[in-house]
Homo-oligomer: A and B are copies of this chain.
Amino acid sequence: MIIGIETGGTTVVCATATVPQAIIDVETLPTTTPGQTLDRVGAFIARHRRQDGVEAVGIGAFGPLDLDPDSPTFGAIGVTPKQGWEGVRILDRVREAAGCPVALETDVTAAAMGEQRWGAGAGLTDLAYVTVGTGIGVGALVRGRPLHGLGHPEAGHLTVRRHPDDEFAGVCRLHGDCLEGLASGPAIAARWGRPGEALGDRAEPAVAMEAYYLAQLTTALLYILSPGRIILGGGVMQLPGLLDAVRTATVKLLGRALGHHPASDPASGFLARPGLGQRAGVVGALTMAADLARNDRQS
A residues near B (Cβ < 8 Å) are 64, 78-79, 126, 138, 140, 142-143, 145, 147-162, 174-175, 216, 219-228, 253-259, 261-262
A161 lies within 8 A of B161 (CB): yes
CB A107 to nearest CB in B, in angstroms, measures 17
Q: Which of B126, B253, B257 is A150 in contact with, Cβ under 8 Å?
A: B126
Check if B223 sits within 8 Å of A258, measured CB to CB: no
**How many angstroms between the C-alpha atoms of A261 and B216 in the bound complex?**
24
Known contacts: A145-B143, A147-B142, A161-B159. The answer to whether A257 contacts B154 by CB under 8 A is yes
The answer to whether B225 and A224 touch across the interface, beta carbons within 8 angstroms, is yes
Residues of chain B lying within 8 A (CB to CB) of residue A138: 224
Residues of B contacting A226 in the complex (Cβ-Cβ under 8 angstroms): 147-154
Given A142-B142, A159-B161, A159-B216: A223 and B154 interface contact (C-beta under 8 Å) = yes
A147 touches B223 (CB 8 A): no
Count copies of this chain in the complex: 2
Given B145, B153, B174, B261, which contacts A224 in the complex, CB threshold below 8 Å?
Answer: B153
Distance (Å) between the CB of A160 and the closest chain B CB?
7
Complex contacts, A228 vs chain B, CB 8 Å: 149-150
Show 26 residue pairs from A and B whose CB-CB distance is below 8 angstroms, ordered by the A residue. Answer: A64-B259, A79-B259, A142-B142, A142-B143, A142-B149, A143-B143, A143-B145, A149-B225, A149-B227, A150-B228, A152-B226, A154-B222, A154-B226, A155-B223, A157-B219, A157-B223, A157-B257, A158-B219, A159-B160, A159-B161, A160-B161, A161-B162, A174-B256, A174-B257, A221-B224, A224-B225
In the bound complex, CA of A143 to CA of B140 (Å) = 14
> What's the dominant secondary structure at chain A's contact region?
loop
The interface residues of chain B lying within 8 Å CB-to-CB of A174 are 255-257
**Residues of B with C-beta under 8 A to A225:** 147, 149, 153, 224-225
Q: Is the CB of A175 within 8 A of B255?
A: yes
Complex alpha-carbon distance, A228 and B78, angstroms: 18
Q: How far is the CA of A222 from the CA of B161 in the complex (A)?
A: 18
Looking at the assembled complex, report how far the CB atom of A90 sits from the nearest CB atom of chain B, in whole angstroms: 16
Chain B, residue nearest A228 (CB): B150
- With both chains docked as a complex, state the minimum distance between the C-beta of A112 and any C-beta of chain B, in angstroms: 13
Whether B223 and A261, one on each chain, are in contact in the complex, defined by CB atoms closer than 8 angstroms, is no
Which residues of chain B come closer than 8 Å to A155, judged between CB atoms? 223-224
Out of B156, B159, B255, B261, name the residue touching A151 (CB < 8 Å).
B261
With a cutoff of 8 Å between Cβ atoms, the chain B residues found around residue A158 in the complex are 219-220, 223-224
Which A-B residue pairs are the 8 nearest by beta carbons? Answer: A149-B226, A126-B149, A79-B259, A157-B257, A151-B226, A174-B255, A149-B227, A155-B223
Taking the closest CB of chain B, its distance from the CB of A63, in whole angstroms, is 11
Distance, CA A159 to CA B212, complexed state (A): 11
Distance (whole angstroms) from the CB of A231 to the closest CB of chain B: 14
* Assembly CA distance A18 to B166 (angstroms): 59
